[in-house]
Amino acid sequence: MFKKSIAAVIFSFIMILSMGTGAFASEIEVVDGVSYETINETMSPEVQKAIKDINKVNEKIEAEIAKNEEKAAKLYARYEAELEKETDLEKKAELTAKYEEQITKLITKLQEKAEKMTEKGIEKADKAGIETNIVLVEGFFGDRTALIDPIVVVSW
């Protein structure tokens, strides 16, 4: 009996530690999978400014993703509620087509906006001599996932 309670306490302790570690790690990343680039004094002022710009671009992309994920969740909830109320198959098909059009438009606009912001950020980084890559991260929009493209610093 005593051995089981010790094992339960140890297991609980391990679970608490693992949950806390994930929460702290998420503060480091601007967008999941894209780390926030730190600035240090050994960098030239031009590189420091470019990295600040990259971080700002990624923060803006993160804000756009969050805003559009929220819009998509509301759109999906409304679609499901309307679909549940409707009994006519033809009207259900119309609702589905309308939803598909709206969610596709929302995702496409976000991808285009993020792409433009990324391109401008990369241009500024290139001028400062910073090598960057585009990393596709997954966003969840209603009943779909889509890939959005923030910037990752490779070297300077």
- Report residue 67: phi and psi, to 5°: -60, -45
Neighbours of 149 (CB within 10 A): 19
Taking only the tens of pLDDT, the chain with its 156 residues reads 545 555 454 544 454 444 433 333 334 344 555 666 677 778 778 888 888 888 888 888 889 999 999 999 999 999 999 999 989 999 999 999 999 999 999 999 999 999 999 898 888 888 888 888 888 888 899 899 998 877 776 655
pLDDT attached to residue 34? 61
pLDDT attached to residue 39? 77
**Entry field: residues in the chain:** 156
**How many angstroms separate the first and last alpha carbons of the chain?**
59
pTM for this predicted structure:
0.70
| Rounded Cα–Cα distance for residues 151 and 36 (Å) | 10
Please give the distance of CA 58 from its chain centroid, rounded to a whole number: 10
| Rounded Cα–Cα distance for residues 90 and 86 (Å) | 10
Which pair of tokens denotes residue 55? 């971080």
pLDDT attached to residue 52? 87
| Rounded Cα–Cα distance for residues 73 and 130 (Å) | 37
Annotate 30-48 with b (16+ C-beta within 10 A) or e (fewer): bbeebeebeeeeebeeebb
